[in-house]
Structure 1
Amino acid sequence: MPRLNREESQARTRELLIAAARSEIVKKGFALASVRDIADAAGFSQGAFYSNFPDKEAILLELVQQHQTEERARIEAALKGAEGDAASAMAGIEKWSTTVNADPGFAVLAIELQLQALRSPGFAATYNELNRTHRRALGAFVTALFGLFGKAVPGEPAEIAASFIALGRGLALLSADVEARRSGQIIMTFLKALIASAPSAAPSSTPKPASRTKSPTKRA
């Protein structure tokens, strides 16, 4: 295996610390998962932790940002791969939906995020901004998907996106009763129903250029 340079080594250290933090927080909860626990699980010293992250809250925010970025990338890929075809786009979204709640650990992590946001105003400010950015991006995808079906989004796109996020998280909490595979199916049922009942989009009209009128010729 080729030797890593300094930048690659630091990136690898961060990856291992993030993975260890995720595992420790899911297993013990944010309050009980200490920096020492996280560093030990990753195979590093506490000094290595603090050279990459100022505190546990920072690594928790890194986890949510990673998850949101990956989710947006999968949805965007589904829409781009459809190349403007509504049926292909829906098939791509349906394929993405099979990954919703496939990782039971994230349901636990989502609860820890919400609890920490309630306890720490500083954390909440950054966490809420990440969520706003995520909802706006998903709202743009919602608008694009509805547009492919010739439908108008029945409401604020970011709010529609927020409702599906809430539905997904709620279903994750019912994991004992609702298996991960069915979470995606339920979300797709609501999405398809919403598209079917949405009003048709107003046809885009290109304004015609104003006709030029000849000025009357003056008689001598």
Structure 2
Amino acid sequence: MPKLNREESQARTRSLLIEAARREIVKKGFATASIRDIAEAAGFSLGAIYSNFPDKEAILLELIQQHQSEERARIEAALTRANGEAASAMAGIEKWAETVNSDPDLGVLAIELQLHALRSPAFAEVYSEMNRKHRRALGTMIAQLFELFGKQVPGDPSEIATGLAMLSRGLSLAPAAGDNHRAGRILLTFLKALIEAAPTAQKAKKARSGKASG
């Protein structure tokens, strides 16, 4: 294995610490898993943690942020590859849906962080803002998908994204019973139903014009 430079070594250390934190918190819970537990699980000293992260909250926030960035990138890629074709876009969304809750640990971590946010106002402020930014970005993509189908989004797109995210979070705690794609199929059922029931953009525009003239 070639020798790593300083930046590569630090990146590897951070990655190992993040994975160790994931395992320890899933196994023991956020409150019980200590910084020392995480350091030992990763094979590092406490100093290695504190030279990379101020606390265990920061470790988990980076993990969730990485996951959110990857999720947005996959959905954005599906919409970009569609080249304006609604059917192609939905096919790409269906491929993304196959990955929903494929890592059950992330669902457990999300619940642990939400519970911690209820008990720590300072953490809640940071965590909630991170989630708001993520769902606003997802809302923009949802609006793009509705537009491809010639439909008007029935409400605030970021609220729809929030609802789908909450559904996904709940499904992550339900027994999979060997069906790893069940959560994704359920999300798609709700999303497709929303698109099907939504008014066409033209009808929505006429309705708004009628109200304005009235």
Looking at structure 2, the residues matched to 165 and 21 of structure 1 have their Cα atoms a distance apart, in angstroms, of: 23
Q: CA deviation at 1:180?
A: 3.0
The verdict on how the C-alpha distance between 1:188 and 1:91 changes in structure 2, with shifts beyond 3 A counting, is same
1:153 counterpart letter in structure 2:
V
2:191 counterpart letter in structure 1:
L
1:66 counterpart letter in structure 2:
Q
CA offsets, 1:97-128, max 9 Å, x none? 01111111112111101111011111100000
C-alpha contact 2:168 2:187 (8 A) present in aligned 1 = yes
1:120 aligns with 2:120: yes
Instruction: Compare 109-118 and 178-187 and name the one that shifted more.
Output: 178-187
1:111 aligns with 2:137: no
| SS of aligned partner of 2:172 | helix
Looking at structure 2, the residues matched to 80 and 36 of structure 1 have their Cα atoms a distance apart, in angstroms, of: 44
1:192 counterpart letter in structure 2:
K
Looking at structure 1, the residues matched to 154 and 92 of structure 2 have their Cα atoms a distance apart, in angstroms, of: 22
Looking at structure 2, the residues matched to 200 and 13 of structure 1 have their Cα atoms a distance apart, in angstroms, of: 51
Looking at structure 2, the residues matched to 78 and 43 of structure 1 have their Cα atoms a distance apart, in angstroms, of: 39
C-alpha contact 2:78 2:93 (8 A) present in aligned 1 = yes
C-alpha contact 1:172 1:180 (8 A) present in aligned 2 = no
Looking at structure 1, the residues matched to 178 and 55 of structure 2 have their Cα atoms a distance apart, in angstroms, of: 35
Structure number, greater radius of gyration: 1
Q: CA deviation at 1:177?
A: 5.9
RMSD over aligned CA atoms reads 1.5
1:89-168 equivalences in 2 (<5 Å): 89-168=89-168
Name the structure 2 match of 1:58: 58
Name the structure 1 match of 2:70: 70
Count how many residue pairs are aligned between Structure 1 and Structure 2: 204
Give unpaired runs (5+ residues) of structure 2.
Answer: 206-214
TM-score by length of 1: 0.89
1:82 aligns with 2:82: yes
C-alpha contact 1:171 1:178 (8 A) present in aligned 2 = no
TM-score by length of 2: 0.91
